[in-house]
C-alpha cells in the first residue's frame, strides 16, 4: 500500500486534521492526547475501493480509507470517505480513533460519524478494553454518546474468563439497565478446546432467563482448522427447546492459497426439505505481488441454473480516481 514519506507526512497530517474537523470533536482523554501528539505518527496508508458498474462496464471509485499509524505500526486513526462524482470531492463518512497502553494493547477505540450540516464529527461509540496481570483482555466496555447530556452512557459489557492454559473459555455479555442503574446478564459463550494450546472446536451460546435466573441454550458453533490453525469450516446450529433437537442453520467454508491467504469463502444454508446443505453465496479473493488484497468477486447461487452467478466485484488499490481512469481499468 502507498505510504507517504516522512517529509510529506507532517504537512499532510495538519491538512487532514483541519480539513476533516477532527480537532473540533469532544474526545476522551487518551484519544485526545494521542491525536495532539503528532510525534507518534510514523506513516499513512491510503486504500481506494472501486466497484464494477455493469451498466457502464467500468470500474467506479466509491470509497477510500486513510489509515494513520504510530511508531509501532499500530493504527491510531482510520478515516472513511466516499467519492462524490458530482462535486468531484471526497466526503467524510466516519472515523475510528485508537489509543494503546505501554504494552501495545488497544485501550480505547472511538467511533465518530460526520455531520455535514454542522461540518463536524459526532461521537457515536466508545470501546474500552481492560487487561489482567497476564496481559489477557478481561473486559470490553461499550458506551454510546448521549448528545443532550454530553456524556458517555454504558450499553454493553463483555467479561472474558480464561482456563489454566491461558485459553479463553467463557465470554459473558451484559446489557446496562439505565433505569435500574445496573448490569443485567444477556448472553454467554462457552468455548471448548480439543487439547492444550489449540483452537476452540465448539462454542455454545446461552441466553439469560431473567425469570428463572438461569442460562438456557440457544445454539452452538462448530469449527474445523487446517495445520496452520486457519479456520476451514464453521457450522452454526440452533437448539430447539421444544423438540430438544439441534437444527442446522449455516455452514461457512474457507479455502486458502499456498501462501496461507484466504482465497474463497462459501456460505451454505441447510435445506430441511432435501436434508442437505445447499449453496447460497461465495466470495473469491485475489492478491497482488505484495500479498495485499487486490480484488473480491461476489457470487450468488442460482438454483434454477444450478450454477454460480457473479453479482458484484470490488477492486482495492492505492490509485486515486484520476489515476484509476488513466490506468483504464
Task: Locate 118 and state its grid cell.
Answer: 454542522
CB atoms within 10 A of CB 304: 5
Quick one: pLDDT at residue 322?
60
CB atoms within 10 A of CB 59: 21
Give the contacts of 140 (CB within 8 A, at least 6 positions apart): 127, 128, 129, 130, 157, 158, 160
Q: How high is the mean pLDDT in each 10-residue block of the chain (329 residues)? A: 35 43 54 50 88 93 95 95 93 97 96 96 98 97 92 97 95 97 98 92 97 97 97 98 96 96 98 97 96 96 97 88 52
Query: What are the pLDDT digits (tens) for 80-101?
Result: 999 999 999 999 999 999 999 9
How large is the greatest C-alpha to C-alpha distance in the chain, in angstroms?
67
Query: What proportions of the chain, in percent to the nearest 5, are helix, strand and coil?
Result: 10, 60, 30
Quick one: pLDDT at residue 27?
60
Across 178-230, where does the E strand assignment appear? 182-192, 202-209, 214-225
Quick one: pLDDT at residue 23?
43
Instruction: List where CATH 2.40.128.720 sits in the chain.
Output: 226-329
Quick one: pLDDT at residue 26?
58
Q: Give how far the C-alpha of residue 121 lies from the chain's centroid of Cα atoms, to the nearest Å.
A: 21
The predicted model scores a pTM of 0.84
**Structural class in CATH, domain 226-329:** mainly beta
Alpha-carbon separation of residue 315 from 64, 312, 320 (angstroms) = 11, 10, 12
CATH 2.40.128 fits 1-100, yes or no: yes
Amino acid at each position: 500500500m502507498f505510504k507517504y514519506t516522512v517529509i510529506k507526512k507532517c504537512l499532510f497530517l495538519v491538512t487532514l486534521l483541519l480539513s476533516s474537523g477532527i480537532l473540533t470533536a469532544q474526545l476522551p482523554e487518551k484519544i485526545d492526547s494521542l491525536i495532539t501528539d503528532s510525534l507518534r505518527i510514523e506513516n499513512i496508508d491510503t486504500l481506494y475501493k472501486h466497484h464494477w458498474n455493469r451498466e457502464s462496464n467500468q470500474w467506479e471509485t466509491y470509497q477510500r480509507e486513510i489509515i494513520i499509524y504510530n511508531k509501532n505500526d499500530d493504527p491510531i486513526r482510520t478515516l472513511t470517505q466516499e467519492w462524490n462524482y458530482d462535486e468531484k470531492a471526497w466526503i467524510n463518512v466516519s472515523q475510528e480513533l485508537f489509543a494503546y497502553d505501554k504494552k501495545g494493547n488497544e485501550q480505547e477505540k472511538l467511533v465518530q460519524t460526520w455531520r455535514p450540516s454542522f461540518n463536524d464529527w459526532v461521537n457515536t461509540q466508545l470501546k474500552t478494553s481492560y487487561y489482567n496481570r497476564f496481559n489477557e483482555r478481561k473486559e470490553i466496555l461499550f458506551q454510546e454518546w448521549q448528545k443532550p447530556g454530553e456524556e458517555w452512557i454504558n450499553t454493553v459489557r463483555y467479561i472474558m474468563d480464561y482456563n489454566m492454559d491461558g485459553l479463553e473459555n467463557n465470554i459473558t455479555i451484559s446489557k446496562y439497565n439505565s433505569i435500574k442503574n445496573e448490569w443485567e446478564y444477556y448472553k454467554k459463550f462457552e468455548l471448548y478446546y480439543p487439547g492444550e494450546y489449540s483452537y476452540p472446536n465448539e462454542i455454545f451460546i446461552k441466553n439469560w432467563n431473567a425469570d428463572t435466573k438461569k442460562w438456557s441454550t440457544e445454539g452452538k458453533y462448530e469449527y474445523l482448522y487446517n495445520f496452520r490453525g486457519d479456520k476451514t469450516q464453521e457450522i452454526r446450529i440452533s437448539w430447539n427447546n421444544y423438540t430438544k433437537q439441534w437444527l442446522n442453520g449455516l455452514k461457512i467454508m474457507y479455502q486458502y492459497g499456498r501462501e496461507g491467504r484466504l482465497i474463497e469463502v462459501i456460505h451454505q444454508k441447510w435445506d430441511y426439505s432435501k436434508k442437505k446443505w445447499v449453496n447460497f453465496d461465495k466470495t473469491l479473493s485475489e492478491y497482488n505481488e505484495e500479498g495485499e488484497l487486490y480484488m473480491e468477486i461476489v457470487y450468488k447461487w442460482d438454483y434454477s441454473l444450478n450454477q454460480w452467478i457473479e453479482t458484484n466485484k470490488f477492486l482495492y488499490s492505492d490509485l486515486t480516481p484520476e489515476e484509476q481512469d488513466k490506468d483504464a481499468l
